[in-house]
A = this chain, B = another copy of it.
Amino acid sequence: MSDIFSTVGKKPSLSKSVESQIEDAIRVRAFKPGDRLPTEQEMCAQFGVSRTVVREAARMLHAKGLISIEKGRGMFVRSVSGESAAAPMNRYLQMHFERSYVMDVVRARQILEPAIAELAAKNRTDDDLNRLAADIDALRQAEADQRELSDLDTQFHIDLARASGNSLMPLLLDPIHRLLPEIKTSIYAAVDDAKESAVQWHSEIFEAVRSGSAVAARAAMVEHLKIAEAHAERMLRRQPKTSPVS
């Protein structure tokens, strides 16, 4: 966006330039996750700039989550996780969303996840099936706090997205599911049989995916999400005035 303007009339600052060069080096895997970057002084010599410039470039890369800086040790390339990539999006949503977002989240799931279930039935591997089965078992045996139940519930859906074979799906689903986890925990707290319902429907989806039945997988997911919608509505009626804590 601002790239166009920066080429015309604007001279990118040295720190920006250095930052881009390091970022590119990380991008093309010249430095792999976990690797230690050259020291500040080495970079100063290599780029022919002062320590100030190198440090400010490093701070920007650190803020972007690409590197970690440890005092006395050095700078290290971070393995960018999907979760950390989704974190700024979550921040943004938490700052901008109104109360209605709860139903927006539900509707977004109703758009994405039936298609995901369908794709998973067609493309799932044996590894995917093992992961999904483990997710269901973990949820079935869990008796812990609602937060853990919520996380286990989420894990099944993320792994299902992974099984879809479309590498975008887990990334699109992740911010949706991690949006205000307290919402999901609220549901698990407000709805008594939420866990049993989840286990049941997850199992049904799993069976359809295992047998390769795309139609059944989609149908099961649609039903699962209808119930999730009802749960969300019930939770909203109980807590009509959820004010952001922050």
Show the binding face of A for B, using Cβ within 8 Å: 1, 13, 15, 19, 24, 27-28, 52, 55-56, 59-66, 71, 80, 82-89, 91-98, 100-101, 104-105, 107-108, 111-112, 115, 166-169, 171-172, 175-176, 244, 246
Contact = CB atoms under 8 A, between A and B. Distances in A.
The 9 closest A-B pairs by CB, nearest first: A85-B92, A63-B63, A60-B63, A111-B115, A108-B168, A59-B59, A56-B59, A104-B166, A85-B88
A137 to B, nearest CB: 21
A18 B205 CA distance: 45
Q: How many copies does the complex hold?
A: 2
A92 B171 contact: yes
A161 to B, nearest CB: 11
A105 B63 contact: no
A96 to B, nearest CB: 8
Given A167-B104, A168-B101, A88 B65 contact: yes
Given A60-B59, A63-B59, A71 B168 contact: no
